[in-house]
Structure 1
Amino acid sequence: MTFYETKLKGCFILQPNVFNDERGYFFESFNKERFNKGIGARVNFVQDNQSFSTKGVVRAIHYQLREHAQAKLVRVLSGRVLDVAVDLRNDSPTFGDHISIELSDDNKRQLFIPRGFGHGFVTLSETAEFFYKCDNYYNKEAEGGIIYNDDTLKIDWKLSHDEIKVSEKDLVLPKLSKARL
C-alpha cells in the first residue's frame, strides 16, 4: 500500500497493491501496523459502517464534536463516489479548505480522514456501496454538519443541481460560519 498525504495535513490517500490474474484480483485493504506506520500516527478503529446510495445522493458534510470526534478510513465496495473532506480544525492553516477524490471499486483507493474534519460524498454511478472504519463510536448528541452547498466551501460535487438528492435532515444544516465546531 502506498500512502500520499494530501494538502490537508494528516489526510491521506491510500493506494493498495492489487494483484490481478485470470481468476480476478486480491489486495490487502487494511493492516493496522502498516496503516499506522503509513500515516505516522496510532489509530485504533472501533466501528465499521456501510451505506448504499443511488446516483446523485449527497451524504454531507458530517462530523462528531470534541471528545466524540472520529477519524475515518473510507472506501467504495461497488460503484463510484466523489469523496470530500473539509478541514474544521480551528487552529489549522487550512481551516475551511477541502479535498475531493474519486473513490471507486475500480481504483480501490481509500481516504484517511483524521479527527477534526467534516466528511461527505456524492454517488456518481447508478449505485454505490460505501464502507468506512471509525476510531470512535457514533454519538447522536455530538453530531454536527454543514450544508453541502455552502458557497464559502465552493465544493464541486460534479453533478448538476437537478441530479443531486439530499435528505431533509441535511438540507437544514448550517453554513460553515454558523456551524457548531
Structure 2
Amino acid sequence: MEFPKINVSSKEDIQYISQIWRKTLYGRLAEEHIRNGDSELIDQVQQLLDQWIEDIMKMASSNIDINGIPYEQAIADEEFEPLDEALARKVQAQQLQVEELTLKVAERRKRVPEQVKMLLDDAIKRQSALADRVEFESQSENNAEAEIEDVSLERSDLIAQEYASSIALLSDLRKNVSSNITRLENAQAIVDDILP
C-alpha cells in the first residue's frame, strides 16, 4: 500500500523543520553537557546530530514533494515555480478531456466509414428498387397506328425521286465494283507472278 506524499509549499518549510529539530537537540545537549563544560565533546555531538538530521531528511525525501515537485529535484534547482493547486487540477481535467476526445475520434474514425458505406448501400438499393417500380406509360397499338396514319409526308414526290436516283446509283456501283474486283484480282495475280 502506497501512502500519499507529504506536500510542502517551499524549501523554507523543510529548512524550518530542520532548524526546529536542531534547536531542540542542541537545547537538550546544552542542558546536559554545558554544565560539565567539555567543548570538544559538545562539538563532536553537534556534528553527529547534524549528520543524523541530514540522514533523516534523506530518508524522508522520497515521501516529500515541494510544491508538487519531488524533493531531490526541488532542492537541486535554485528556483522553481510554485505549484498552483487549482491550476494543476485544471490541467489534469484538461488532460483527461484530451484523452477522452482522442478516444472518441479514434472510435469515430473506425465506425463512421462503415456507417457511411451502409448508408450509401441503402441509398443505392432504394434507388434501384424505385427504378424497378417505375412504369413507363405505354401507348396502345391502336393509338400508335392512328398517329402513324395521321402523319403526312411532305414532298412525297421529292422523296420518290431521291429513292429512284439512289437505286440507279446503287446498280451502277454494283456493276463497277464487280468489274473493279476482277481487275484487282488480275493485278494481284501478275504481282504474285513477278515478285518471288
* TM, length-normalised to structure 1: 0.17
* TM, length-normalised to structure 2: 0.16
Choose between structure 1 and 2: higher helix proportion. Answer: 2
Which structure has the larger Rg? 2
Bigger RCO of structures 1 and 2 (CA < 8 A, at least 6 apart): 1
